Amino acid sequence: MYATPRCAKCDSPVYAAEQVLGPARKPYHKPCLACTHCNKRLDSLSLLEHDTEPFCKPCHVKAFGTVDLRSANLPTVPSSPSRERPTTPIQAAVTGPAPPLRTSPIRPFTTGSPRFVAPATPRCAVCDKPVYHAEMVRALGRPYHRPCLRCSSCKSTLDPARLTDHDGVPMCTRCHSKEHGGKYMVGVGGR
């Protein structure tokens, strides 16, 4: 049978519902887990420990100071006889940045057959930007973006199956009959 753990501060039993783990993974009552210096109540985010004693962040800094160990694990670069490089971030800040290392130029890496050339993306007949297959409509034998396929007179959007042209310029049937009179061919060139 298991014994109920005891609080590391008040030495009374700590039940699971009221238990928090403090320094050295010892159980504490929530109100008992407090800073050793200022008695401020601590939680898992504000707890720092030193020699298995709980501290809040400000008291820990005042009592023990802080040491930034992040740069302790950085590799040092052996100095060359001609040019000495800084070996720590502090030396680098004082002496300035190290000169860039020489590297070989990047060469393009190609795969596959040298004869294969990807087909060029077709360009819109109006805006001359690339037209990808998903957004392309063909009219008068040329590729268009759907919003670019407009009547040259009234600027209304055209359906490639229901348009006409005059000298290769797309027009709606209404504008074509007004401007050029006579009959027109619906869907000429609309493929």
- One-letter-per-residue 3-state SS of 169-185: EEECHHHHHHHHCCCCC
Element containing residue 91 per DSSP (H, E):
helix 89-95
CA 62 to chain centre: 39
d(CA 51, CA 68): 19
Q: What integer pLDDT is reported at residue 132 of this predicted model?
A: 86
DSSP conformational letter for 95: H
Task: Tell me the average confidence (pLDDT) per consecutive run of 10 residues in the chain, 191 residues long.
Answer: 84 89 90 92 87 89 71 57 54 57 56 61 89 86 89 86 82 85 54 40
Q: Hey, CA dihedral for 74, 75, 81, 82, is it positive or negative?
A: negative
pLDDT at 12: 92
Torsion of CA 122, 124, 127, 128, to 10 degrees: 30
- Predicted confidence at residue 116, as pLDDT, reads 56
What is the reported pLDDT for 190? 42
At 39 the pLDDT is: 92
